[in-house]
């Protein structure tokens, strides 16, 4: 590690060149944006996790009050079946965020490991492993998930019931959705990590480690991995919004989360379905849409900030 300063150390080291007058301010603003993004995300996660307990309504609790506009009883109004939209948005947040988290976890474990091994081994192993990634890449992503979910939903449900997990069987579809989105989410990460490893493994500190008798596993874990964290974290923050978006697309098409469960995508879908020229139920569209947009915005901005922070090139290019 010490022999070759990593990219991220480079970026974090104090710059010797005198920064221009606006630069300090801009960097401060950037960090403040990052902090604001993190705070917003924390708030959304917290609200989704605990909010549904405090709204006073269940997410599938129907009432006679159809299409009520936002009021004190129902802050976000009610939908076609008189269900409280606020509760459903919060509950939908759980599913949408969980999907993002699963995608992130799969990228973090599968994608990183795959890319590291392919890049480090090189040769035939690399070729075979990356060809596999390429094949999955040429599958249209969503199409693949759609086919997977519809194909395996009934057998999984049956299997779970037979094994005695009756309560799980009801959410077989969600489990499959998580799995399918996880499968397609790690590919970019694998490619990027492999590229980094290819460049890193030629460096002298790796040679030094090998000369001292370190094995492949040790070199990967102790010497290469610490140098990869920066780029991995950046792509993680960009993977999460992509996966959330994918899930909501599927739910929008009616192929993901099914009523009475909700995700942000299925809620927007309900809102879009309620559009008609006579009466406009804007709250069905605007609130779930806004929840989603704010989350994605915060994640994207955070990813941008981290990338700027960790990539010395872009920072210098901008100041």
Residues that bind other proteins (CB under 8 A): 22, 26, 131, 134-135, 138-140, 142-143, 146-148, 150-152, 154-155, 241, 245, 248-249, 252-255, 265, 268-269, 271-272, 275, 277, 280, 282, 285, 289, 292-293, 296-297, 300-301, 304, 313-314, 317-318
User: 199 vs 290, which CB is nearer to other proteins?
Assistant: 290
User: 117 vs 299, which CB is nearer to other proteins?
Assistant: 299
In sequence order, which residues have a C-beta less than 8 Å from that of residue 178 and are 6 or more positions away? 98, 99, 102
User: 99 vs 209, which CB is nearer to other proteins?
Assistant: 99
- The CB-of-130 to other proteins minimum distance in angstroms stands at 11
User: 104 vs 296, which CB is nearer to other proteins?
Assistant: 296
Name the token pair of 38.
């993190």
- The CB-of-256 to other proteins minimum distance in angstroms stands at 12
- The CB-of-134 to other proteins minimum distance in angstroms stands at 7
The DSSP H or E segment spanning 173 is helix 172-185
Cβ contact 189:112 at 8 Å: yes
User: 106 vs 302, which CB is nearer to other proteins?
Assistant: 302
**Euclidean distance between CA atoms 244 and 241, whole angstroms:** 5
- The CB-of-64 to other proteins minimum distance in angstroms stands at 26
Cβ contact 287:81 at 8 Å: no
- The CB-of-253 to other proteins minimum distance in angstroms stands at 6
Helices (H), 170-255: 172-185, 187-200, 204-211, 216-218, 225-252
- The CB-of-26 to other proteins minimum distance in angstroms stands at 8
Q: Select from 159, 156, 158, 137 the least CA-distant residue to 148.
A: 156
CB-based burial label for 274 (10 Å; 0-12, 13-18, 19+): middle
User: 1 vs 39, which CB is nearer to other proteins?
Assistant: 39
- The CB-of-296 to other proteins minimum distance in angstroms stands at 4
In sequence order, which residues have a C-beta less than 8 Å from that of residue 196 and are 6 or more positions away? 115, 119, 227, 228, 231
User: 10 vs 226, which CB is nearer to other proteins?
Assistant: 10
The DSSP H or E segment spanning 273 is helix 264-273
CB-based burial label for 98 (10 Å; 0-12, 13-18, 19+): middle
Cβ contact 259:318 at 8 Å: no
């Amino acid at each position: 590690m010490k022999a070759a300063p990593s990219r991220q150390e480079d970026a974090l080291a104090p710059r010797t060149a005198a920064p221009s007058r606006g630069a300090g301010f801009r960097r401060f603003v950037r960090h403040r944006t990052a902090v604001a993004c993190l705070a917003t995300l924390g708030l959304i996660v917290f609200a989704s996790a605990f909010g549904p307990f405090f709204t006073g309504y269940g997410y599938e609790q129907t009432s006679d009050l159809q299409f009520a506009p936002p009021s004190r009883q129902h802050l976000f109004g009610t939908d076609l079946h008189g269900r409280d939209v606020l509760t459903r948005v919060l509950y939908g947040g759980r599913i949408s965020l969980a999907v993002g988290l699963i995608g992130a976890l799969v990228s973090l474990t599968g994608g990183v490991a795959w890319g590291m091994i392919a890049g480090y081994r090189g040769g035939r192993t690399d070729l075979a492993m990356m060809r596999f990634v390429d094949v999955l890449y040429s599958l249209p992503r969503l199409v693949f998930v759609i086919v997977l979910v519809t194909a395996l939903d009934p057998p999984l449900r049956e299997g779970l019931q037979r094994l005695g997990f009756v309560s799980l069987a009801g959410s077989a579809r969600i489990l499959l959705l998580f799995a399918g989105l996880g499968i397609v989410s790690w590919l970019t990460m694998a490619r990027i990590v492999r590229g980094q490893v290819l460049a890193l493994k030629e460096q002298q500190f790796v040679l030094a480690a090998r000369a001292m008798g370190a094995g492949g596993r040790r070199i990967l874990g102790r010497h290469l991995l610490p140098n990869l964290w920066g780029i991995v974290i950046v792509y993680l923050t960009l993977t999460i919004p992509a996966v959330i978006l994918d899930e909501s697309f599927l739910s929008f098409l009616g192929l993901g989360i099914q009523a009475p469960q909700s995700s942000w995508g299925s809620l927007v879908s309900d809102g879009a379905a309620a559009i008609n020229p006579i009466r406009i139920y804007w709250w069905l569209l605007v609130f779930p849409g806004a929840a989603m947009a704010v989350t994605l915005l915060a994640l994207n901005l955070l990813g941008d900030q981290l990338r700027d922070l960790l990539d010395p090139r872009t920072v210098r290019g901008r100041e």
